[in-house]
Amino acid sequence: MDGGVELSVAADVLVTSTEECAECKRQFLSRYTEYQQLDEQLASNTSDFESLEAEYTEAEGQATQAAVAARLQSLWQARQPDVHRKVEAYRRLHVELRRLKAAVNHYVDGLSPTEAV
- Digit-coded pLDDT (tens) for 27-78: 999 999 999 999 999 999 999 999 999 999 999 999 999 999 999 999 999 9
Over residues 85-107, the mean pLDDT reads: 95
User: Could you tell me the pTM of the whole model?
Assistant: 0.77
Do 34 and 93 contact (CB within 8 A), yes or no? yes
User: Residues 6 or more apart from 102 whose CB is under 8 A from it?
Assistant: 9, 10, 13
- Residues 25 and 3: their CA atoms lie apart, in Å, by 26
Q: Given a cut of 90, is residue 14 above it in pLDDT?
A: no
- Measured CA angle at 38 (ends 100, 85), to 5 deg: 95
Do 75 and 49 contact (CB within 8 A), yes or no? yes
- Measured CA angle at 96 (ends 34, 3), to 5 deg: 100
